[in-house]
Amino acid sequence: MTAPAPAPDFRDPRLTEQRNPRTERIDVATTLEIVDLINAEDATVAAAVRSVRTELARAIDLVVDAFQQGGRLIYVGAGTSGRLGVLDASECPPTFGTPPEMVVGIIAGGFQALVKGLEGAEDDVNAGSRAMDNAAVTPRDFVLGIAASGTTPFVRAALARAQTIGAKTGFLSCSDPPPVLVETCDVLVLPKVGPEALTGSTRMKAGTATKLVLNTLSTGAMIRLGRAYGNLMVDLMAWSDKLRDRGERIVMECGGVDRQAARRAIADAGGSVKLAIVMVMKRVEKNEAARLLAQAGGFVRRAVGDPPPVRK
């Protein structure tokens, strides 16, 4: 009698592609149960990110090193990963007053992929390599590849090209990366959030973990560069009424002055909240404040002392 053929092995070794036993009956759950199931999975993400805190700190230091050499932080990804990289890059100028070219986001498929699903673009290895040339990557840059599954061809090709150029590279993934990336990247950040509530939908837990990592990476690097005073974002660009109001309130709090005086100081400082703080706290004009700030390496605390404590 012929033995039955073994069942085909359909399981994917990538963690993000595996089925989650906790949500296998989500399709028959009530609406509230669906919310609870997804929320329970989301609750595990912060712990996964914390488990890679040492690697994340290493990545921040590499970014700071790149900036101090006149280099850039360049994110490269596809699909959700690429969109999150572009999002983080686009938020740095208004938050930290950085020039747009300091933090760059590259997504497979280009601008159109931000607003329309072009997931097939992730398979184009030639485009990944060209993206690094088009971005004029140099040895001073730090290139972070982002791929939730760990295997995106576009990202792998981009990293390989960046490494050939001599740039430092990192890899952010929620699955174990291929051995070649383990061997060649300067840092690996791998928050393993486990299988998704909906199998393979990496815009969920993996996307949340990616957003947390990128938030920490760019914010941590900017803090290390002196773009915060205490926990105040003193290099913000006042491009809206909300941001103008925030800038004025920061100067009011730090300098103990009223809104009119804060607004006048920011105007005299050419719109720079950081410079206005030094002017008000040290009671000096713009040029002297700029000198003090430059002498302090751009760090407000070094120029004027500690910020006021948080008012309870």
Where is 169: in which H helix or E strand? strand 168-172
Domain that holds residue 294: 241-304
Give the CATH number, domain containing residue 248: 1.10.8.1080
Q: Indicate whether 275 pLDDT > 90.
A: yes
pLDDT the model gives residue 174: 96
Same domain, 160 and 121: yes
pLDDT at 9: 61
Q: Give the active site residues.
A: 91, 122
The answer to which of 71-80, 115-124, 250-259, 264-273 has the lowest mean pLDDT is 115-124
pLDDT digits (tens, 9 = 90+) for 77-106: 999 999 999 999 999 999 999 999 999 999
Please check whether residues 154 and 247 belong to one and the same domain: no
CB atoms near residue 110 (< 10 Å): 14
Find the mean pLDDT for residues 156-161: 97
67 and 210 part of one domain: yes
Has this prediction a pTM greater than 0.85? yes
- Position 138 in a domain: yes
Whether residue 172 sits in one domain with residue 269: no
Q: Is residue 73 in a domain?
A: yes
CA distance 235 to 89: 16
Is 292 found in the same domain as 171? no
**117 plus 220 within the same structural domain:** yes
Report the distance separating Cα 83 and Cα 73, nearest Å: 16
Q: At 240, is the pLDDT very low, low, confident or very high (cuts 50, 70, 90)?
A: confident
Least confident stretch, 9-23, 110-124, 213-227:
9-23
70 and 112, same domain (yes or no): yes
How many angstroms separate the CA atoms of 154 and 79, rounded?
11
What is d(CA 139, CA 26) in angstroms, rounded to the nearest whole number? 48
> Does some domain include residue 22?
no
Cα–Cα distance, 265 to 110 (Å, whole number) = 42
- Residue 211 within any structural domain of the chain: yes
**Percentage of the chain with pLDDT > 70?**
96
Quick one: 246 and 215 in the same domain? Answer: no
pLDDT above 90 (res 4): no
Q: What's the domain count of the chain?
A: 2
**Mean pLDDT rounded to a whole number for the chain:** 93
151 shares its domain with 275 = no
